[in-house]
Amino acid sequence: MENTKNATEVRSFLGLAEYYRRFVKGFSIIAGLLTKLLRKGVVFQWTEQCQRNFDELKKRLTSTPILVLPSGSGGYVVCTDASKQGLGCVLMHNGKVIAYASRQLRTYELNYPTHDLELAAIVHALKIWRHYLYGEKFQIFTDHKSLKYILTQKELNLRQRRWIELVKDYDCTITTI
Q: Which amino acid is at 55?
A: D
Predicted pLDDT of residue 105: 94
CA distances from residue 116 to 30, 125, 148, 164 in whole angstroms, order as listed: 23, 14, 13, 11
Q: Give the strand pairing for 76-82 and 86-93.
A: antiparallel
- Give 42-58 pLDDT, tens digit per residue: 898 899 999 999 999 98
Domain 76-176 has CATH 1.10.1040.20: no
pTM, rounded to two decimals: 0.71
pLDDT of residue 1: 47
Q: Which pLDDT score, from 0 to 100, does residue 28 have?
A: 87
DSSP string, 131-157: HHHTTSEEEEEES-GGGGGGGG-S---
Domain extent listing, the chain: 7-62, 76-176
- Give the pLDDT of the chain (177 residues) as one tens digit per residue: 456 568 888 988 888 888 778 778 888 889 998 999 898 888 988 999 999 999 999 888 887 666 788 877 788 999 999 988 899 999 999 888 899 899 999 999 999 998 899 999 999 999 999 999 999 999 999 988 877 777 778 889 999 999 999 999 999 999 888
